[in-house]
Homo-oligomer: A and B are copies of this chain.
């Protein structure tokens, strides 16, 4: 049985709040259980040097934990003077996931900045960040269209993510922090709306997993993502 009484293939309570803050064209609060992440999409009318004059746009992501988001306060990376390895890893993952569903030529020469700021962390922050950023991205793109800044929608697919893992030899969906800390395997799965893989990151924690466990985790991840995609769709129905 799980720490919060869920079935092994049950998501935590999941909600998406659009227009959470006022200034960014896309701004979403995503919650899954006690994990809460503010995902915003801001637009800058220029691109990084390496794609200047290609006619293409860019999308980049930054991720940060508020110091008070965790039970033990996490030192601020700005104060430490550098961004840590875990943060780098996560923001590269978010950026890649979103770029993989974009036709960047349709965005034209501008950058969309995705900012994922975790205000409460109880496991699964990176997958929540990807799922929520997709909604923020959609709102930013709608804003661009409403201003006639783009003609065609550059978002050519949808994306959602979830974690699965092996805890005490059982395969579980959507791990909370206590489960994650005890996990033998931790796997993050990012998929498109039509059921294909964008990213698959499975890690044995001083443990190695076999083909059977892999198959079971992938099956459970698909189920979870299927449900999340439905919640995303509903969230996007209103203007």
Binding site for B on A (CB under 8 A): 21-24, 27, 34, 36, 38, 40, 42, 44, 62, 64, 66-71, 73, 76-89, 91-92, 96, 99-100, 102, 113, 115, 117, 119-121, 157, 187, 191-192, 194-211, 214, 218
How far is B115's CA from A184's CA once the two chains are assembled, in angstroms?
26
Is the beta-carbon distance between B119 and A21 smaller than 8 angstroms? yes
From known contacts A73-B24, A115-B66, infer whether A199 and B192 are also in contact, taking CB-CB under 8 Å.
no
How far is B24's CA from A143's CA once the two chains are assembled, in angstroms?
36
From known contacts A44-B73, A68-B27, A73-B44, infer whether A100 and B207 are also in contact, taking CB-CB under 8 Å.
yes
Contact among B21, B27, B92 with A89 in the assembled complex (CB-CB below 8 Å): B92
Leading 5 A-B pairs by shortest Cβ distance: A196-B208, A85-B88, A40-B68, A77-B78, A24-B68
Is the beta-carbon distance between A120 and B81 smaller than 8 angstroms? no
From known contacts A78-B83, A89-B92, A214-B197, infer whether A70 and B23 are also in contact, taking CB-CB under 8 Å.
yes
How far is B198's CA from A75's CA once the two chains are assembled, in angstroms?
28
Question: Which residue on B lies nearest to A44, using beta carbons?
Answer: B73
> What residues of chain B lie closer than 8 Å to A83, measured between beta carbons?
78-79, 85
Is the beta-carbon distance between A200 and B200 smaller than 8 angstroms? yes
Chain B proximity of A25: nearest CB distance (Å): 9
Chain B proximity of A62: nearest CB distance (Å): 6
> What residues of chain B lie closer than 8 Å to A207, measured between beta carbons?
100
Is the beta-carbon distance between A69 and B210 smaller than 8 angstroms? no
How far is B121's CA from A6's CA once the two chains are assembled, in angstroms?
39
